[in-house]
A and B are shown apart, each in its own frame.
Chain A
Amino acid sequence: MTNQKQWQDICKTGEILPNIGVCALFEGQQVAIFKIADSSGTEQLFAINNYCPFSESNTISRGLVGSLAGKIVVASPLYKQHFDLSTGICLEDSTVSLDIYPVRIEGDTVQLAA
């Protein structure tokens, strides 16, 4: 049971647009979910805490996504720090990182796990 993730339905895949974040309420926490699409049409899902420690506000889901030096990142909308979506680590200050969450598509549903 310990290794078994508890997946929870969040929303329909179609509700998340490519390269535009949404915020999910997941077990009392705010989680930003991004669907990153590249030019080949390949899509990748990422989930990261919505709380920006620099501005102390719940705004990460409203940041712009993109790539920097090969990493897929989101820029905080207020003061523009970048966070690596795969690790949660802040590019400008590696001592700061955001929690990341397992996320997947099950059928036509997006799911998060703790």
Chain B
Amino acid sequence: MSKKIKLVVIGNGPVGHNFLEYLVDSGKADHYQVTVFGEEPLPAYDRVHLTAWFKTQSVDDINMVHDNFYGKNNFTLHIGNKATKIDRENKVVHSESGLEVSYDKIILATGSFPFVPPVPGHERDNIFVYRTIEDLEKITEAAKTAKVGTVIGGGLLGLEAAKAVMDLGLKTHVVEFAPRLMAVQIDGGGGAMLSKKIQDLGVSVHTNKNTQNIGDGNEAVHKMSFADGSELETDIIVFSAGIRPRDELGHSSDLQMGERGGIVINNNTLTSDKDIYAIGEVALWNNKIFGLIAPGNAMAHAAVDHLTGTGTSEFAGADMSTKLKLMGVDVASIGDAHGNTPNSRSYTYVNDREEVYKKIVVSEDDKYLLGAVLIGDAAEYGSLLQFMLNKIELPAEPEGLILPSIDGSSSGIGVDALPDSAQLCSCLNVTKGDIIEAVEAGATDMAAIKSCTKAATGCGGCAALVTQVLNCELEKLGVEVNTDLCEHFAYTRQDLYNIIRIEKIKSFAELLDKHGTGLGCDICKPTAANILASCWNDHVLESNLQGLQDTNDFYMGNMQKDGTYSVVPRIAGGEITPEKLIVLGEVAKEYGLYTKITGGQRIDLFGARVEQLPPIWRKLVDAGFETGHAYGKSLRTVKSCVGSTWCRYGVQDSMGLAITLENRYKGLRSPHKIKFGVSGCTRECAEAQSKDFGIIATENGWNLYVCGNGGMKPRHADLFASDLDDKLLIQYIDRICMFYVRTADRLQRTSVWMDNMEGGLEYLKSVIIDDKLGLAAELEQEMLNVVDTYQCEWKTTIDDPEKMKRFTHFINSDKADNNVIFTTEREQIRPAFAGEKSLAIEVK
């Protein structure tokens, strides 16, 4: 191959990084010798989700660099090293540390910096901006000794900063120069509704305030004085008054600049120098700076296409529509939100009770959508955006698009009407055509769509729409996703659940008789048993239920490879007395069982033959043990750390909570197993974020994380709610558990359930926290029923001679299975390998 082209990328923010990802995708990366300069001490992280840093104060959740991306592709990355000069004559880039790197081509992706207006006093201590992880670290540190925090600027980022300040426990103020919040994106009515909702949350909003001086305060660190003569005292100040391009390298190297800054680019993102491209927030296109990630990514694409010649995309401006959640309030702005188009018409819907404001702006003839504002409920965002972007003709009475439908059906767009070129996911630039392609290649659920197209993995705003397209395409392709449980039931698990619950069905025979065919099988029988247990919680060995149980549930132990079973008593939270520990040791010794500490903080005794199970459990139950349900699709373990009781860092009693939770939910039969973790502080020694339910102590209570998974496809749990007290925590978990039981597929862990849930986390929150479906009380009642009817399955069994009859290997002999043969390894038993026991097999 000919000599490599020397490419220097300046700036390692999201756009600079995505440029490199696209370069790799183009297949031409190995034609370039790539050097990257990043001023920040960390490699690229996802600034859009900067606020998520507060969750764990770790960069892990927002880190954009995975799988040794730079090393693997032989890209040289200099972080914490700012590029200080571009010598265009000699084609060399100089850096702060003194490096000199010669180049053939440069990509400038230096982004922007927060603008701090030159108000007297702005250089005082305890005044911050909100742009980098270092900024957040400083704010967090300062908040420790502060009581009041003020954000200057009531735009999108200002409100996000205000939320962070509030979450740090400070009394929070937002000061805005304009007469309303988010003046750029939303109209007066929307701004008023937004102010109201935000004030409801305890944040004070001050509009029409022009800050003239910041000086010493009396009660607090600073005193802010405004043009109207009023004053505000505050301990910390965060400026969020707009951004300015980081264009100093363009200046010093004489590239063509905009009048008010920004490096001028053309549709190929080339600057006035044909060897230098500029992308992201530093670039000025058509006299505009684009302060969002999607246009930056589109520029990065265009740059790769032009540089490598592998594509033809050009940057042609970008739609600045946005949808976000600010302090839990849905806010969306589309197109011409202010109705500036001459002769446009608008329709507005205001609901003061629900605090919802919706407006659409349409063309003079009512045919096309020009813009919209949605506050408090942005469910229509996806379809409205498509109406506008694709110039789809509106229905006869366009106001119907934002009026609540009385029957609960959604008006909105038929996704079928969208052209293939319709961009569904703007963050990752995924079109309807891309989704169709993925479906044709075999994707049948959202999880697959996400992993092969990346759609809905950015802000998530497009998830509902993408799901609709997915379903519609599946239907069309006749890939009839057969959701029937099995040949005996033409129903999904969810259908069966509803049937059983509503018709109060108590046995499989009745279910089969009314709704199924044939004799049933090893799929529908355990599923029915599981649902019957979730609903009515009768003992697994009741005469009409026992024949449905998989062998693990039937013998209340996990069958091992040789037909023996494991014995796992519950050790709630992993806490065990020495006395009980001794009992376990004695039992294991007496029956010659293999003993191991499990990955779930308890002890597993392996190698028990069926006929040994009852005497083993008799001893365990007498010593106070209960079944651990290691065999059931049910609550497994609640992993815990010692927490504040012993640990010097613990802020809550994680051990106590873990035991309470384990005892509450033990015995709940669910679509798949459920695991919990409870950590006593943010160090997270219980690894709670890898569990279905993860609970992490905070100074003020508990943060609840949901739908994590270890296992085959690990998934970090999502933060569901913060600073809950015990009561609310349990209430939410009750509801989520029962909602999962109600709506998940067979053998679907909560992680996959979440990945496939239309509307995702926000939807789950609306059902659980806002009680959108009016189900909360019912779900709680159902859980209460399960809790109240708990019994230790083993205890009930060994007390019932009828049930005990099953625990023999032979119906007509007391002999043991002669094919169960152990040998010894590391002083304990293990099943003999085939060769080691060939003799035994002959007597089969």
Contact = CB atoms under 8 A, between A and B. Distances in A.
Contacts of A58: 563, 809, 817, 819-820, 844
Nearest to B844: A51
Interface stretch (B346-354, B475-483, B521-529): B521-529
A11 B811 contact: yes
Contacts of A38: 519
A66 B815 contact: no
B810 A24 contact: yes
B841 A77 contact: no
Interface stretch (B61-69, B406-414, B433-441, B543-551): B543-551
A95 B168 CA distance: 67
Nearest to B525: A64
Contacts, number: 101
The secondary-structure label for the interface of chain B is loop
Query: Chain A contact residues (Cβ within 8 angstroms of B): what range?
Result: 35 or more
| Centre residue among B513, B518, B554, B813 by max chain A CB count within 10 A | B518
Interface string B770-813: 00000000000000000000000000000000000100011111
B561 A55 contact: yes
Interface string B502-529: 0000000100110000111110111000
Given A25-B815, A63-B551, A64-B550, A78 B561 contact: yes
Interface residues of B, number: 39
A63 to B, nearest CB: 7
A36 B844 CA distance: 25
A67 interface: yes
A88 B813 CA distance: 24
Contact of A77 (B509, B524, B559, B820): B559
Contacts of A68: 487, 521
Contacts of B487: 68-69
A57 to B, nearest CB: 4
Contact of A36 (B519, B521, B551, B561): B519
B386 to A, nearest CB: 45
Interface in B551-581: 551, 554-555, 559, 561-563
A50 to B, nearest CB: 8
Contacts of B513: 39
B712 interface: no
Contact of A57 (B518, B520, B561): B561
A66 B559 CA distance: 20
Nearest to B815: A25
A14 to B, nearest CB: 11
Contacts of A15: 805, 811
Contacts of A63: 522, 551
A80 B559 CA distance: 13
A7 B653 CA distance: 67
A19 B547 contact: yes
Interface string A70-84: 001101011010100
A113 interface: no
Given A20-B546, A62-B551, A67-B520, A10 B811 contact: yes
Given A39-B513, A56-B841, A64 B526 contact: yes
5 contacts: A20-B547, A24-B811, A55-B563, A64-B522, A66-B488
Interface of A: 10-11, 15-20, 22-25, 28-30, 33, 36, 38-39, 49, 51, 55-59, 62-69, 72-73, 75, 77-78, 80, 82
6 tightest Cβ-Cβ pairs between the two chains A and B = A66-B521, A75-B522, A67-B519, A57-B563, A77-B551, A22-B811
